[in-house]
Chains A and B, each alone.
Chain A
């Protein structure tokens, strides 16, 4: 007889496969109507980015920050919260790392301090929404959207007025070489950030499933009433969840600043950061808000990002069509996860 949990995983996996196939069929149909060859296009989208060395390295480098922002959303959902503040928390984390470009320090201190300040700023940005939720009952969807924009403009005005790049007006100061994560493969964008990202993923898994705090988070997410009965402080658990989420999102910002060539900075309009938080939301939904699922889903989304260039160049599909097709696949993949969250919200405790 199958283990109950294994069976759940298998049905989940089957669900994802069906969703991918459905999304690709619809995307293929759109391409046929547009006059493009879908077989060729899909080949270019996925095969080089998952089979060639360079493609795989790009895939992983794209996956790096998304893993972390996905964890933010996942830890929220596990506690019954819809925390979509990873975007703003990640901006703040990036800010925390990039300010060291304007500070002179002994070389050895750069990376640890960037890491710490990025994590702390991310957590602060998370805990604001947490406090509002726990003690004032403010809906976390509303507060995190607002906080995302506040973070955006704080970072953007810092870029313009406080830490502009003296030689390139389109970005902030760059962190000095001593403050950059080493590249794993020279000539690619794959840096040691992927290792940090996976370590944080393992840490989060451990926290959620092997510690009393993680137990409380999951308990509250499933059933707040029974959690109260068990003596769990439900408000405090909401705070924990926001703090952990802010931590992982802050690290995502750190990874983008300290680990992505060539700029090692924040660019105009936060263009090198924008959207990574929401990509995380998608990845978390696809990956069942579970660390293992998140790892696989982030590689899938990373591959699509890495493959979009090939699809344009070799399959001659224009950027707009590439984005349309990718959007269709992502929507198809997110539907099951979204439905689960919605039914849980409507259904209440059970």
Chain B
């Protein structure tokens, strides 16, 4: 049991058993308590009540190093390497001199198949490799119980497959692995057993071979979740947004978008996939008037709107669901009511000709949004930060859609949300498409792109690797494109394999 200082009970009477040489999935929604449980096992947090036993012996951890001594090590969601150190320096960091042996490290790499270039500087390496370094770091310290917290968040599909192969190999060598995730497919494909947490309690422990996605989803959210979102066949209309040979700089002046062209039509969802940091953020900001376009044109409903401000674009019928709702989509210190009119605060519906707010109208508007979008909010005068993540995003969505837009630009709209809110928002986007809205969906979540989009572009280093119809899209093809192959190259490879 674990009670946080603010009184939140994160875990309540949880039993968790890990066997030697198994990959054990820990599945649950955001806030189910997965990370808390593992932090307790790794000695980072102390339980309020309850015991931990290792190999039948009762232990008390006062720090992560206690856990490490007993062979329990955790790899956090984001690799925490020293960016300017080399791989080997990072692995040896903190060890006494007599523990440092490059030969032993090379031997370990050969045994486990976890091979990295030891003299490469960490910051120059892709995320997948950094993850491997973290795992090596743990193994080098003699860890026999490896806890991985959402290890695939930052990996491309190809890197994920590699990681999985490694994990299976380690398991066969007797290492026990806890695999924390909320991605059903991954958990099903890699684990031997699965513990499902729901709001701090164990909802079920199942053998992976004897379960299916529906059962897991049911355990996770406590009700039937339909993962298949039904879409009507696409009936695209006229062009709403056209981007022609767009060039945009990133924050440090480098070219982040290099000559992207695209068109979004009425009644379709145009998805942009890609590993984060390949220019998607800059593309979205350029289209929504937040970042300067250096070269190229943005045409919205037949009008050239290149480098026009957001206020003007909103008036023309743009809605922008930004990537980071806390930093950009909301002003979390302002009330829910005030956030309901963010960006609409000059609309004649809410202010009179002297710029004075029409209070009654604004409150009615906020109430309508809260009701229509099932936002769970206590008091509409309390600050937006009091809402949960899912409800914050619903508020953003509600406000943006209340503009009755003709184009919706959505960037990672379901990031970090629980299953129920994710489903709600995805359904809503499809509804809007069916109503004839044009939607530009930029997301690092491949499932989301595949599930929702009618056409898919893959962005890599500021360019589109190709645009394909959702019918011919599959994870492998897109994965290759995310890794830097053009559509033609990727198709060619598949041809060879099939032959």
Contact = CB atoms under 8 A, between A and B. Distances in A.
Nearest to B312: A231
A1 B378 contact: yes
Contacts of A136: none
Nearest to A348: B327
A4 B309 contact: no
Contact of B351 (A212, A218, A227): A212
Interface stretch (B25-33, B182-190, B292-300, B381-389): B381-389
Interface in B327-341: 327-335, 338
Interface secondary structure of B, over-half rule:
loop
Contact of A5 (B314, B331, B381): B381
B357 interface: yes
Contacts of A229: 290, 310, 320, 322, 328-329, 343
Interface string A218-256: 110011011111110100000000000000000000000
Interface of B: 289-290, 309-312, 314, 320, 322, 326-335, 338, 342-343, 345-346, 350-351, 354-357, 359, 378-379, 381-383, 386
Given A3-B379, A3-B382, A210-B359, A215 B338 contact: yes
Contacts of A142: none
A216 interface: yes
A3 B383 CA distance: 11
Contact of B357 (A211, A225, A350): A211
Contact of A350 (B314, B327, B354, B378): B327
B328 A226 contact: yes
A25 interface: no
A319 to B, nearest CB: 43
A350 B381 contact: no
Contacts of B327: 223, 225-226, 349-350
Given A210-B356, A231-B343, A226 B329 contact: yes
A222 B334 contact: yes
In this complex, the member of A212, A233, A349 whose beta carbon has the largest number of chain B beta carbons within 10 angstroms is A212
B355 A226 contact: no
Contacts of A215: 338, 345, 357
Contacts of B322: 229
In this complex, the member of A4, A216, A225 whose beta carbon has the largest number of chain B beta carbons within 10 angstroms is A4
A203 to B, nearest CB: 12
Interface in A133-172: none
A317 B327 CA distance: 53
Interface of A: 1, 3-5, 210-213, 215-216, 218-219, 222-223, 225-231, 233, 349-350
Given A215-B345, A226-B342, A350-B326, A231 B314 contact: yes
Contacts of B357: 210-212, 215
A169 B343 CA distance: 57
Contacts of B350: 212
Contact of B331 (A4, A212, A223): A223
Contacts of A226: 327-331, 342
A134 to B, nearest CB: 16
7 contacts: A5-B335, A212-B357, A216-B345, A222-B333, A229-B310, A231-B311, A350-B326
The 5 closest A-B pairs by CB, nearest first: A231-B311, A4-B382, A230-B343, A231-B310, A222-B333
A215 B379 CA distance: 20
Contacts of B383: 4
Nearest to A4: B382
Contact of A212 (B326, B333, B345): B345
A1 B345 CA distance: 30
Contacts of A216: 345
In this complex, the member of B331, B333, B343, B354 whose beta carbon has the largest number of chain A beta carbons within 10 angstroms is B331
B330 to A, nearest CB: 6
Contact of B334 (A210, A213, A218, A231): A218
A222 B379 contact: no
Contacts of A230: 310, 342-343, 345
Contact of B328 (A1, A4, A222, A225): A225
A253 B327 CA distance: 40
A4 B356 contact: no
Contacts of A211: 351, 354-357
A217 to B, nearest CB: 12
B169 to A, nearest CB: 42
A138 B112 CA distance: 57
Nearest to A213: B355
A223 B326 CA distance: 10
Nearest to B336: A4
Given A231-B309, A231-B314, A231-B343, A219 B379 contact: no
A208 to B, nearest CB: 11
A225 B310 CA distance: 12
A4 B359 contact: no
A231 B347 CA distance: 12
A92 B328 CA distance: 39
Nearest to B334: A222
A208 B332 CA distance: 18
Given A228-B310, A230-B310, A212 B346 contact: yes
B30 to A, nearest CB: 19
Contacts of A231: 289, 309-312, 314, 343
A215 B345 CA distance: 8
A32 to B, nearest CB: 39
A215 B333 CA distance: 12
A215 to B, nearest CB: 5
Contacts of A5: 335, 381-382
A211 B357 CA distance: 5
A219 B386 contact: no
